[in-house]
Amino acid sequence: MSTSDKVLGWITHSYLVLFFAYLFLPLVFMSIVAFNSAEIPQAIPWQGGTLHWFHLLFQDEVMWEALLNSFLVAFAVVIISVPTGLCAALLLTRLHFRAKNLLYALMVSPILVPGIVLGISTFLFWDAQMNIPGGLWTAVMGQSSFIVSYCMLLIMARAQRFDRIQEDAAFDLGAGHGRVFWKITLPFLKPALISAAALAFMQSFENYNTTLFAIGIEQTLPIYIGTRLRVFISPAMNALGVVFICLTLCGALVYEFLRRKEAQ
């Protein structure tokens, strides 16, 4: 290895260390604050360890209500988005017509515009036109509008690799349309459907921009966090952050475990 390659390697590694420090240090600081007994969220000066903020967080009934709402909304979004995304993907991969590119552009447009645009229009559509005031239903509608597009793209990627001869063979053997779909097409798409459901759940659970405008006076967890961080900052939010980090790490470990098991 030449000297210039060594220097390049050294620069690359230092850069990567800096990059990952940038990614993780803020989260480390946030976690430290959750255990500091100072009233204002701060990491230094350290005023002694405490679990008080976790206690305070778990006693907050508004938080539990928002969490429940988040689960309800995410569940409804998955139920709506995965089948609709599947249908949209099948439509685009199997139907051949002239305006297909235009339809494709329309179908991906919801992920290409800011979430706030979807939120406001969804709220006005249901509130002013359909007389359904802002709430969990409008949040589901607003979120699904773009999450369907994500599901569609995910399912399309797999549907394009599907060999239609399998279906034709089943028809030749006398199976009906429904049976072919349930026994052949759907099992082939299953991995993509599972990923789509997971993505839809995460996207919904995380969503702030669209929900903030669509939901009216109700709260999901991100809306609750947003209100708390703007109005009254307390280390209880750091405690919530630590809960998120722990759940995430558990999720990552489980994922890695399953991946290794499958690889064996």
Partner 1 sequence: MIDNFGKTGTLVVLSLVGAWLLFMVIGPQLIAIDYSFRPLLPLRKIGGAEDIYTLKNYLTLFSNTLHRSVFIKTIWSSILVTSIATAVCYPVSFYLARVARGAKLSLMLMAIVVPYWINELLRIFAWQLILSDAGILNQLLMGLSLIHDPINFRAGNSAVILGMVYAYILFMVFPLYNAMESLDQNQVDGARDLGASWPTIHWRIVIPHAKPGIAVGCIMTFMLTAGSVAAPQLLGSPSSFWFTQIIYTNYETANWNLGTAYSEVLALLSLLFIFIMLKLFKVGLKDFIK
Tell me the two tokens of residue 252.
């990552």
Element (H, E) at 233: none
82 touching partner 1, by CB under 8 A: no
54 touching partner 1, by CB under 8 A: no
- Whether residue 131 contacts residue 142, with contact meaning beta carbons closer than 8 Å, is answered with no
HSE-up of residue 196 (Cα within 13 Å, Cβ side): 32
By beta-carbon proximity to partner 1, the closer residue of 30 and 200 is: 30
22 touching partner 1, by CB under 8 A: yes
By beta-carbon proximity to partner 1, the closer residue of 128 and 194 is: 128
97 touching partner 1, by CB under 8 A: no
State in angstroms the smallest separation of the CB of 61 from partner 1. Answer: 20
State in angstroms the smallest separation of the CB of 114 from partner 1. Answer: 2
Q: Please name every residue paired with 49 in a beta bridge, in sequence order, or none if there are none.
A: 36
- Please provide residue 133's backbone torsions phi and psi, each rounded to the nearest 5 degrees: -65, 160
State in angstroms the smallest separation of the CB of 207 from partner 1. Answer: 9
By beta-carbon proximity to partner 1, the closer residue of 10 and 24 is: 24
CA dihedral 27, 37, 70, 59 (to 10 degrees): 160
State in angstroms the smallest separation of the CB of 10 from partner 1. Answer: 13
Q: How many residues bind partner 1 (CB under 8 A)?
A: 94
- Please provide residue 96's backbone torsions phi and psi, each rounded to the nearest 5 degrees: -120, 115
Q: Scan residues 130-169 and list those touching partner 1 (CB under 8 A).
A: 141-142, 144-145, 148, 153, 157, 164, 167-168
By beta-carbon proximity to partner 1, the closer residue of 68 and 229 is: 229
191 touching partner 1, by CB under 8 A: no
Q: Scan residues 110-129 and list those touching partner 1 (CB under 8 A).
A: 110-118, 120-122, 124-125, 128-129
212 touching partner 1, by CB under 8 A: yes
Rg (Cα) of the chain, in Å, rounded?
Answer: 24
State in angstroms the smallest separation of the CB of 51 from partner 1. Answer: 19
65 touching partner 1, by CB under 8 A: no
Q: How far apart are CA 18 and CA 13, in angstroms?
A: 9
CA dihedral 199, 201, 203, 208 (to 10 degrees): 180
Q: Name the H helices within 160-235.
A: 165-172, 177-180, 186-206, 209-214, 221-231
The angle subtended at Cα 51 by Cα 50 and Cα 52, nearest 5°, is 90
Q: How far apart are CA 13 and CA 3, in angstroms?
A: 15
58 touching partner 1, by CB under 8 A: no
- Please provide residue 161's backbone torsions phi and psi, each rounded to the nearest 5 degrees: -90, 5
203 touching partner 1, by CB under 8 A: no
State in angstroms the smallest separation of the CB of 160 from partner 1. Answer: 11
56 touching partner 1, by CB under 8 A: no
Tell me the two tokens of residue 42.
């701060």
Spell out, one character per residue from 217 to 236, where the chain touches partner 1: x when CB under 8 A holds, - when not: ----xx--xx--xx------
206 touching partner 1, by CB under 8 A: yes
